[in-house]
A = this chain, B = another copy of it.
Amino acid sequence: MYLRALTSLADDGTTTCSSEELAASAGVNSAKLRKDLSYLGSYGTRGVGYDVEYLRYQIAREIGVTQDWPVVIVGIGNLGHALANYSGFRSRGFRVVALLDADRDRTGETVAGLDVRAFEDLESIVADNDVSIGVIATPAVAAQSVADRMVAAGITSILNFAPTVLSVPDGVDVRKVDLSIELQILAYHEQRKSVSSEVVS
């Protein structure tokens, strides 16, 4: 989030910023921001603030997005199409090297300038491109088996969009994005709002 805020400040032509300003753009408390940054090193100047470009680079280096990370996307349906077409990944240090789908009808289709390839090609693509990050956008029932194949092929980080809990060996990271649950959380708070207003009225 700080990286994003800094990039945005740099685009606006800002060269220097205080922890207060940066915290405001990132939407957090300034003390938290300073403590977070202090774990990376002492990149600020007391009485002055932080150099936007310098700090931006330091954070990018710490995260590891100064290099380009190759990524494969498996499951080129509704969501897979959107992800493949998204330009924001490229500009933030990620490069989609392959789109894979089990459906023979989709194989050969071209999405965002890339051919959709057969799921069987996973192993060779991962090996050839040194891919360590995989995205799962298949239906939930297929997700675990896709994850297993990914892990066997050498992928060690998975971003999962399917609404299912994946089990993977130690050493493999999984993050999941669950849009239905996000909506349900909103609905819960929404319900509580209307309940409490009913009590008032």
Interface residues, chain A, CB within 8 Å of chain B?
1, 3-5, 25-27, 62-65, 69, 71, 78-79, 81-83, 85-86, 88-89, 92-94, 132-133, 156-159, 163, 165, 171, 173, 175, 177, 179-191, 193
Kindly report which residue of chain B lies nearest to residue A5, judged by CB atoms: B165
Residues from chain B with a CB closer than 8 A to the CB of A183 are 69, 71, 89, 92, 94, 133, 159
Q: Are B69 and A190 in contact (CB under 8 A)?
A: yes
**What would 22 A/B residue contacts be, using CB atoms closer than 8 Å?**
A1-B181, A4-B181, A5-B165, A26-B165, A27-B165, A64-B188, A64-B191, A65-B184, A78-B81, A78-B86, A83-B179, A88-B180, A89-B179, A92-B180, A94-B183, A156-B190, A157-B190, A159-B179, A159-B183, A173-B189, A175-B185, A177-B179
User: Known interface pairs A78-B86, A180-B88, A186-B175. Does A191 touch B71 (Cβ–Cβ under 8 Å)?
Assistant: no
Q: How far is the CB of A68 from chain B (nearest CB, A)?
A: 10
Q: Evaluate whether A157 and B189 lie within 8 angstroms (CB atoms) in the complex, with A88-B163, A165-B25, A165-B26 already known.
A: yes
Contact B187 A65 (CB under 8 A): yes
> Which label, helix, strand, loop or mixed, suits the secondary structure of the A interface?
helix
Report the Cα distance A84→B37, complex, angstroms: 39
B190 lies within 8 A of A93 (CB): no
- B175–A182 CB distance below 8 A: yes
Contacts of A179 in B (CB 8 A): 83, 86, 88-89, 159, 177
A182–B165 touching, CB < 8 Å: no
Q: Do A191 and B78 touch across chains, with their CB atoms under 8 A apart?
A: no
- In the complex, chain B residues whose CB is within 8 Å of the CB of A181: 1, 4
- CB of A99 to closest CB in B, whole Å: 14
The answer to whether B187 touches A63, judged by C-beta atoms less than 8 angstroms apart, is yes
- Residues of chain B within 8 A (CB-CB) of A158 are 186
Contact (A63, B159) CB under 8 Å given A133-B183, A165-B27, A183-B89: no
- Distance between Cα atoms of A5 and B165 in the complex (Å): 9
